[in-house]
Structure 1
Amino acid sequence: MKKIGLYLGTFNPIHNGHITLANYFANIIDLDEVWVVLTPQNPFKKKYNLIEDDYRLEMANNTFNHLKNIKVSDIEFKLDKPNYTIDTINRLSEDFPNKQFTLLIGEDNLANFHHWKDYSKILEVVEVFVYPRTTTTNVDNELINNKKIKILDAPKIEISSDEIRKKMKEGVDIKSYLPKVVYEYIIEKRLYS
């Protein structure tokens, strides 16, 4: 059975930190593939400068299409809204019964994981691998000690999509934070301006 890591996010925009983590997941930990799953809207966040799904999908495809063990998925664009992680996992498990899924989340998400819809069901059906974030968060000991949750020694990423969008509004050059193909696409389409 193939082991698939689900790396969910808005990727608004996708940046070098996302690529570093996706490569870490695909090549360092025990996964056969990583699926970069674009989310239409995080139910816990207000809609914020979120560009159209098609733009984000194209940037992700352009970023990862040359890598054999990292795939891009738009499954959440096709599900009813609001969509929750448990819905995505259930749908993927139905569509791909011969694959074993693992959820890949940031430590900031683990801090509010107990607020996620059906979080206990998520832990029944998948393992959750947690990568570090630069912000310190308090995490419930019950979650940290859960056998289905594994804390990874992944690289800490020093930049976020929020910060990149903010820098763009301030006129700061963001070229060094993005893959060339994404930077050129943003300029060509005049995104985030």
Structure 2
Amino acid sequence: MKHVGLLFGSFNPVHIGHLALANYILEYEKPEEIWFVVTPLNPFKTSRDLLDEKVRLDILTRAIQLEPRFKASDFEFALPRPSYTIDTLDQLSSQHPDHHFSVIMGADNLLAIDKWKEAQRLLESHPLLVYPRPGFDLDQAQKHANIQIIQAPVFDLSSTMIREALQAGKNIRYLLPHGVYDYIRDNKLYPSV
């Protein structure tokens, strides 16, 4: 069975923290591939500043093109909205019975896992690879055999900060994967860029 790590996100936009984390997991943990699953609508987030999902997928595809073990996935585009991780996992497992899926999540998400749809079933059926996030104490997190805390580098970087910097006209070329800043600027995806 192929072991695939699933990194869910809005990727609005994808930034170097996403890629560095995925790179670390490929080299130091069990997954053989990382699938970046673009979430059209997260049940816990507002869609106010959200770029169209196809644009986010296009940016992500450009950002990961040099790493064959990375895959940009539009799998959730065809599922009901908002997207729930357990529903996506059920569908993926059904369509890929030869794959073993782990969910990659930040400490912030683990600490709020009890708010997720069918959280207990998610914990029982799929390993969670949990990376540290600044300001979130994993000592307070639920313990479970399927929860693995990984010692990935900590990046205090978010897509919100990236959007705010772009909208303020900042040149943050090196906080984004190669070519992404130019693509965003050339296509005027965020005002003021």
TM-score scaled to structure 2, two decimals? 0.94
Structure 1 letter corresponding to 2:189: L
Please tell me whether residue 15 in structure 1 is matched to residue 15 in structure 2: yes
User: Following the alignment from structure 1 to structure 2, what is the Cα–Cα distance between the partners of residues 37 and 167?
Assistant: 24
* In 2, Cα distance between equivalents of 1:181 and 1:54: 17
Provide the aligned C-alpha RMSD in A. 1.3
3-state DSSP of counterpart to 1:180: coil
Which residue does the alignment assign to 1:90?
90
| Structure-2 residue corresponding to 1:169 | 167
Give secondary structure in 2 for the equivalent of 1:158: coil
Q: What residue in structure 2 maps to residue 146 of structure 1?
A: 144
Q: Secondary structure of 1:36's match?
A: strand
Unaligned runs of 5+ in 2: none
**Are the counterparts in 1 of residues 33 and 69 from structure 2 also a CA contact under 8 Å?**
yes
Identity rate, percent: 38
Contact (CA 8 Å) 1:26, 1:34: kept in 2 or not? yes
Residue segments in structure 1 that go unaligned for 5+ positions in a row = none
Spell out the pairing of 1:15-164 with structure 2 (5 A cutoff).
15-137=15-137, 140-141=140-141, 143=142, 145-164=143-162
Letter in 2 for 1:155: P
Q: What is the one-letter code of the residue matched to 2:64?
A: F
Structure 1 CA distance for aligned equivalents of residues 138 and 23 of structure 2: 27
- Provide the rounded CA distance (Å) in 1 between the counterparts of 2:113 and 2:140: 9
Amino acid at match of 2:6: L
Distance 1:104 1:139 in 2: 18
Question: Is the contact made by 1:59 and 1:181 (CA closer than 8 Å) also made in structure 2?
Answer: no
Give the 4+ runs in structure 1 shifted more than 6 A: none
